[in-house]
Structure 1
Amino acid sequence: MVSVLSQEQFEEVARLGVRVEEALRLECVGGRIREKPMPDGDHAEIIAWLTRRCVQADAGWWLHVGQGLRVEQGRKGNARPDGCLASSDAFVGHGEWADAEGVLLAVEVTSRDHDTDRRDREDKPKAYAGTGIPVYLLIDRDTCEVKVHSQPDGGRYEMLLTVPFGKTVTLPDPVGIDLDTEPLKGWVH
């Protein structure tokens, strides 16, 4: 399902409590409403693993799961990253959709659905770069790779580093975390 709605129309749909199947969540990126499947157990374990790494690196950080962000230039889209790294109190007092100010890292873990290619590999990097999120981390379970996008410039990231599962990757500043990706091999079913 792909529909074109304005930012205001999308937020009105959300305010009215319009729901899709319980196994899906809605996002509006690039002017298109998209369904995002709920994570599976391996997906959840990857996010838990990454959360532990982030908190170990800085006790003031948290990998916020499920927080909706206003994204793209002019904040004309709504995305719900699998995780977004920010201070532990970054979203206190915000509603379901918050500005991405203070977000250091957006994280997506590929899902087993028909739209993951366009959503996670094309639309999300553009949206997050357009918002100025410094680092976008894609944990790609289809290719068994970690893709680190950095240096946002308008609507794209200028740098892309791709590392196969099993190697160590350093997330660039302002994150600056070394990730040993060996454990990811066990969560690719």
Structure 2
Amino acid sequence: MTAAMVAKDQGSEGRRWEYLLRTWQELDVPEGWRAEIDEGQIVLVPPPHAHHNGIAAKVRRTLYASLPEELEIYQTLGVHVAPLDKLYVPDLVVMPAELIASADPDTSEPLDASEALLIVEITSKGNAREDRTKKYRAYARGGVPMYLLIDRFDTRGAMATLFTEPNEDGTYKHSESVPFGKPLPLPAPFDVALLTGDFPG
């Protein structure tokens, strides 16, 4: 992961966020890379390993099996964590399709993270800590109802964890973890088991 500091003295916090967002919108990011806003910086995230993409494909296929028509699964969708003025581009976001359809076609405004039903992050060697800590706290503070963390680099071995019921203090009330090889049940509106034994790597 590479961080580029683009704003040190941009005045008030509100003006700093506007400056960062405008810069993010105007960035010409290399294909496959993602740009996020975290801790007052624009962070460039390199393309993930093939196994990372393989896991994302398996999760997407599982979710689509029972997904209500009004919901869709998005990749490379920027979400704004409003309480913290952070902007992340999760591996997968499940969100009402009408929100995407009604977005202004002339801007690249990120959608509010609280509108997502589920956010999925799949760790890479370079970002595992951020997914486990910073993004966990941010998604909880942002009111994301379900955060699925697929951690290939957990010290206990590869694990999948579903966090639910976010608190404003930046924690989730409930979590359920399974090692790769065991199914992880996903509640409504999905009502499906994620078969982690099918994950590559």
TM interval, short-chain normalised:
0.7 to 0.9
Work out which of the residue numbers 24, 29, 45 in structure 1 matches 2:54. Answer: 45
How far apart, CA to CA, are the structure 2 residues paired with 1:128 and 1:145?
19
Aligned counterpart for 2:121 among listed residues 104, 108, 112: 108
1:164: how far off?
A: 0.1
**Letter aligned with residue 98 of structure 1:** L
Q: Which residue does 2:99 correspond to in 1?
A: 90
Cα separation, 2, equivalents of 1:72 and 1:158: 21
1:94-124 alpha-carbon deviations (Å, 9 max, x no partner): 23511224311000111132xx133211111
Give the C-alpha shift of residue 174 in structure 1. 4.8
Task: Mark the runs of 5 or more structure 2 residues left unpaired by the alignment.
Answer: 8-15
> Which residue pairs with 2:153 in the alignment?
142
Q: Distance in 2 between matches of 1:54 and 1:30?
A: 32
- 1:36 alignment partner, one of 45, 70, 86: 45
Structure 1 residue aligned with 2:11 = none
Identity value in percent:
30
Query: Is 1:3 the equivalent of 2:19?
Result: no
Does the CA-based 8 Å contact 1:30-1:123 persist in structure 2? Answer: no
Post-superposition offset of 1:39:
2.5
The alignment status of 1:54 with 2:59, answered yes or no, reads no
Pair 1:150–1:12, CA change in 2 (3 A): same
- Structure 1 position 167, deviation (Å): 0.4
- For residue 48 of structure 1, give the secondary structure of its aligned residue in structure 2: helix
Alignment CA distance shift 1:4-1:150 (3 Å): farther
Give every structure 1 segment of 4 or more consecutive aligned residues whose post-TM-superposition deviation is greater than 4 Å.
20-23
Aligned partner of 1:122 in structure 2 is 133
The 2-side partners of 1:173 and 1:41 are apart by 30
Number of aligned pairs? 182
Letter in 2 for 1:31: G
Structure 1: runs of 5+ lacking an equivalent? none
Distance 1:153 1:173, change over 3 A: farther
